[in-house]
Chain A
Amino acid sequence: MSDLKKIKNEFLSKLQGKLDISEINQIKSDLFGKSGLISTQFKKIGTIAESEKKKFASDLNIIKDELQDLINSKINKFKSAEINKRLEQEKIDITLPERSFVRGKIHPVSQTIDEISSIFSEIGFSVEEGPDVETEYNNFTALNTPENHPARDMHDTFYLDEKKQKLLRTHTSPVQIRTMLKDKPPFKIIAPGRTYRSDSDQTHSPMFHQVEGLHIDENINMGHLKGCLNYFIKEFFEVDKIKMRFRPSHFPFTEPSAEVDIGYEMKDGKILIGEGNQWLEILGCGMVHPNVLKNVKLDSKKFQGYAFGIGIDRLAMLKYGINDLRAFFDCDYRWLNHFGFDPLDVPTNYRGLSR
């Protein structure tokens, strides 16, 4: 028997036995280590006669492959048994709770302001702001509401001085005045913000939010006003059709003035906008009064346009089914969590206002 055959038979029989991983590794090293039996045979190739060399090398390689495959498969068996054993031990109760997380929320009024801004952005309005503390002039007089005008009764005003010259703005309309004094026409702005009236009951809060709209150019008429508001209401409530009614009203700073109602009905305790035969007042608007334009030194023969004021909190209540206005500012954790919006839900045109 040649050496090669001897080696092969010896180790094949050795590998038949019950071996642990270290014994297999030992065999591997005995055969294929630096001075292992197989390695030594390979070194011998050079010394063998040319005529037998080819066969010898071929036999050796076959034996080498056979032994090596056997050893590797034995080792792999051990390895996978080991992993399987570990996996067996590592099984956990996956129904245990995840690590805790907290979720922040955006207040519905903030969300509504962003929705409104997004809608008006599409049709070319930009956002302007004004201070919460205003002068009596900007809040009333410049808006064609001189002292002793009965319309002032409708605004229960918070004052900051005895002379009643400084006050908390009762509407966002003074932003119209500031904008028109600061810039040059045309004007196309909305101005959302906090407003204040000393009134507090179920439907009134001493602080609330309004958004003012103003569009002044050379030929802006009531048709533009109607079209703009119709577009806004439809977009805001994300409905296909909207029932809308303009009816004459009076505001000192607009002439003609209108109040706008939208149609709705109650279904299963929920309000459905755009259907039904009930009317709900949602905003006031009109053509900016020539006296107001005069007060900001605009030529009312050349420039004209419309303005509107919408209660933001009320819009939010209607859209999101919130009943109590005062809860908006009560900061109840449960309420904020329930009605708040995920900060990633930024209202956009391409994705829509709400999910």
Chain B
Amino acid sequence: MKITFDWLKDHLKTSLKEKNLLEQLTNIGLEVESVESLSTDNELFKVAEIIKIEKHPNADRLKVCDVNVGEKEFKKVVCGAANAKEGLLTVYAPPGAIIPKTNTKLVVAKIRGVTSYGMLCSESELNLSDESDGITELPKKFKKNIGKNYFSKSKSKLIDLSITPNRPDCLGVRGIARDLAASGFGKLVNLKKKKIHTKNKQTLKIKINKEKEQGCNAFGSCLITNVKNSQSPKWLKDKLISVGQKPISAIVDVTNYVMLDINRPLHAYDVDKIEKGIIVRNSKFGEEFTALDNKNYKLDSGMCVISDNKGVLGLGGIIGGTRSGTEFNTKNILLESAYFEPGSIRNTAKKLNLDTDAKFRFERGIDPLSIEEGLNKAAKLIKEICGGEISKIDIQKKETFKTKKIIFDPNIFEKISGFKISSKEMIKILEDLGFGVKKHKKGFKLVIPSWRPDISQEVDIVEELVRITGYDKIKFIDPIKHRKKSTLNKYQKLFHFLQRSVASKGYLEAITWSFTDKRYNDHFRDTKKEIKIINPISMELGVLRNSIFSNLIMYMNKNLDRGFKDLSIFEIGPIFNGSNPGEQNTVVCGLSAGKKSRLSWIEKDRNVDVFDVKRDVIQTLVEAGYNSEKFLIDNDTPTYYHPGKSGRLFLNNKKDHIVGYFGEIHPTILKQIDMKTESLVGFEIFMDNLKLAEKTLNDQKAKFSFSDYQKSERDFAFIVNKDVNAQDLIDSISTVDESLVKDIKVFDVYEGDNIPENQKSIAINVTIQSSERTLNEDDLEKINNLIIQTVENKTGAKIRS
């Protein structure tokens, strides 16, 4: 909502300054979004008179004019306007002036060999109207103004307010003035209610159809006959221009002025273009009309239209049509002042993707009792400017507006705001805001002003009172440092732990969007359902991600393109399994590309590999408190991993929940997304599948005990078939005697010379220690043999002699 202090002063008597105004507006909830000074160069434009005209020596259509601009010497100006004639009063722009329409700066220029000092301006060039045929013609009374500024000095700045959707009343200057006055910023000027006194009847028949979901509640109108539409007088033009509106014609300007002034949208029809009467009804599917924005609209059924016998004239409360629009030659007009249902307006405007000043106001709720006031005000002004006779006002109604009443208990004010004001203050504020206030046994009985659709219960009254009193009156009550409940639950603690644990392993944390490119998503979707966004920002962000890999790999690729070769990134966040709330899982997903120790003088470089990510996953889980001795790993992984170089991890051998995957990303994917790196490995940890221990970490720990008896280490080398897993050997050894076998390490895996084909050698180091005594050679020999026997029996291995 754009206003100026000058316009506000039509409604507000105040001695306060503009600076105070800006502060006060914000303090009462009418946020000042911006303040603009209007073009300061306007004072260069002068009222001038053409004294003498000569033909241009080199051009038929051009004239060379001597212009009196109030200085000693006349200015020579070259002009092409047909209406330029001696004695004409017009507007002169000197060199240096900026022409408002084109935003260009005038310079002294030679036009076809004749020097022109400045320019005579058309109304269009001055942004006064669309009139571009010829230069501005000023009335005789301007003769005394020759040499003076054409534009009156408007010191008032353009103030743009951000009005919240609950305050339609402040979409008119008067509403803003009322709020300001209530807050002590001046006094609201009483408007004299001027009724129209006339015997003329409103003869055009108006009918609101009785039908379901009729969007029009009331339709007020009056006729003004025998008008002479024209340019608006200067005061009206200036007023509209001061808030950034463009003057069009007196009739349209008056309706706009009334709308901006008291938030009462109006519409003017050329009566002679209406067939018989007006019918307000629901549209039929497929009906069409051309609106004042010169666009053709095809309507759905059930939109509230103003129509006549021939069809649709306009969309009620949104936009009028060209067929019945007023023009300069319009003789007889019908002024409409109606009430349209906010919901109906909104639906229609949304479907047609239409936004107008009227729509913006009606969808927020217009004062239903302003119908007559609007007609009176506008009709009087039109008559003043355009002449003609005004008819009586006709109001067709579907239902009568009932004022709302609330019983307000003043104690609620302190209960909610935390501070006190007296009943007297409350009454003053409410009355200033237009409320009817009566004493009641429970406090006050309030009559809600008809322009405040936002107020319906006691708490709304509290807001009015706090707002006008000032939010700075609210006390600061310091918070109490007391915690009844733990801040994070176990799941949240685990989230934070995993996040920092993974980062501590050299991964940079990324946060990427929850949506992604379908093409990337498809690579990692596995068997999950694709979840489309109905109205995505772009096709590249069209689906919810089924895996974090889709985004991570895309950004990894971008970073590789930036020239970074060895990089680890991760994200912890949601992936989606379905489009219902809750069909999402939290995943920790990491990616590592390139090499370790690239260009190192001391270490040999190598590609990152699956055992790097396996370590990261296992170390993270161990740090988080899970027992790696119980982990079960197999190679059943989704298709986006390298089938031979990836693993699946469970917390235990029950295999009930997959806790994670890790491995090389499938080479085909790398090829398809054109990724250039020596190696790309990744992992996923599914947080929701990580069992949360009921006991604390402390309670999970066994009693602290250790053995000081001598340890022995024994090395074994087994020959096994290639398809036997190292884990099988480890598992067999660990079952031999849990009280003696303390540690098992695989220290060599070998295939090739001296080993039969399809077999491999696995070398294992076993630490043996008793917690009861020192083992002698016999004991060790016994356990040695037992280990060999067990492994051979269980895995088909042969000890290598």
Interface residues, chain A, CB within 8 Å of chain B? 96-97, 99-107, 109-110, 114, 117, 120-127, 129, 131-135, 138, 148-151, 153-154, 158-162, 164, 166, 168, 188, 194, 196, 198, 200, 206-207, 219, 221-224, 226-228, 230-231, 245-250, 255-259, 287, 289-290, 304, 328-334, 336-337, 340, 343-344, 346
Contacts and interface: CB of A to CB of B under 8 A. Distances in A.
Interface string B564-602: 100111000110100111111000000000001100111
Q: Of residues B346, B418, B596, which shows the largest number of chain A Cβ atoms within 10 Å of its Cβ?
A: B418
Given A123-B481, A150-B364, A255-B463, A117 B487 contact: yes
Contacts of B702: none
B568 A158 contact: no
Nearest to A260: B471
Contacts of A123: 479-482
A343 to B, nearest CB: 4
A255 B460 contact: yes
Contacts of B544: 133, 160
Closest 6 CB pairs of A and B: A248-B29, A223-B418, A102-B506, A250-B164, A331-B555, A256-B463
Provide the main secondary structure of the chain A interface. Answer: mixed
A161 B514 CA distance: 17
A82 B166 CA distance: 93
Nearest to B162: A249
Given A148-B347, A333-B564, 18 more contacts: A96-B601, A104-B504, A104-B505, A104-B568, A107-B510, A109-B511, A110-B499, A127-B492, A150-B363, A159-B534, A160-B533, A221-B418, A224-B418, A227-B477, A331-B569, A333-B562, A333-B569, A336-B569
Interface in B696-734: none
Contacts of B552: 331
B145 interface: no
Interface stretch (B147-155, B188-196, B439-447, B535-543): B535-543
B466 A121 contact: no
B470 to A, nearest CB: 9
B165 A250 contact: yes
Given A222-B416, A223-B418, A104 B508 contact: yes
A110 B477 contact: no
B483 A124 contact: yes
Nearest to A189: B485
Contacts of B564: 333
Given A222-B418, A249-B31, A256-B466, A336 B597 contact: no
B167 A250 contact: yes
A158 B536 contact: yes
Interface string B472-508: 1011111111111111110010001001111111111
A62 to B, nearest CB: 45
A29 to B, nearest CB: 35
A343 B478 CA distance: 32
Q: Of residues B460, B487, B515, which shows the largest number of chain A Cβ atoms within 10 Å of its Cβ?
A: B487
Q: Of residues B544, B580, B596, which shows the largest number of chain A Cβ atoms within 10 Å of its Cβ?
A: B580
A329 B511 contact: yes
A110 B463 CA distance: 36
B603 interface: yes
B508 A121 contact: no
B534 A160 contact: yes
A96 to B, nearest CB: 6
A250 B509 contact: no
Nearest to A146: B343
Nearest to B509: A107
Contacts of A132: 514, 574, 576, 584
B559 interface: yes
A258 to B, nearest CB: 6
A190 B466 CA distance: 26
A150 B364 CA distance: 7
A331 B558 contact: yes
A166 B581 contact: yes
B290 interface: no
B466 A106 contact: no
A314 B365 CA distance: 34
A160 B532 contact: yes
Q: Of residues A222, A245, A304, which shows the largest number of chain B Cβ atoms within 10 Å of its Cβ?
A: A222
B342 interface: yes
A148 B603 contact: no
A228 B479 contact: yes
Contact of A103 (B457, B475, B501, B506): B506
Contact of A333 (B343, B346, B508): B508
B586 to A, nearest CB: 10
Nearest to A163: B534
B459 A287 contact: yes
Nearest to B167: A250
A331 B510 contact: yes
25 contacts: A106-B503, A110-B509, A122-B483, A123-B479, A124-B484, A124-B485, A129-B492, A132-B574, A133-B583, A151-B165, A160-B579, A161-B534, A162-B534, A194-B514, A196-B514, A221-B416, A221-B477, A248-B467, A256-B459, A287-B416, A287-B459, A332-B558, A333-B559, A336-B509, A343-B501
A316 to B, nearest CB: 11
A127 B579 CA distance: 25
B202 to A, nearest CB: 33
B513 A99 contact: no
B476 A223 contact: yes
Contact of B415 (A106, A124, A162, A304): A304
A198 B487 contact: no
Contacts of A135: 581
Nearest to B164: A250
A117 to B, nearest CB: 6
B361 to A, nearest CB: 11
Nearest to A333: B559
B416 A124 contact: no
A186 to B, nearest CB: 9
Contacts of B790: none
A166 B487 CA distance: 30
Contacts of B601: 96-97
A331 B603 contact: no
B417 interface: yes
Given A150-B346, A248-B29, A227 B476 contact: yes
B639 interface: no
A290 B459 contact: yes
B342 A223 contact: no
B483 A121 contact: yes
A109 B346 CA distance: 37
Contacts of B508: 104-105, 333, 336-337, 340
A106 B29 CA distance: 39
Nearest to A246: B471
A103 B509 CA distance: 11
A230 B479 CA distance: 9
Contacts of A258: 471
A133 B511 contact: no
A294 to B, nearest CB: 11
B26 interface: yes
A104 B165 CA distance: 46
Contacts of A126: 485-489
B462 interface: yes
Given A106-B500, A248-B463, A344-B504, A122 B509 contact: no
A161 B512 contact: no
Contacts of B584: 131-133
A223 B487 contact: no
A154 B64 CA distance: 56
B164 A246 contact: no
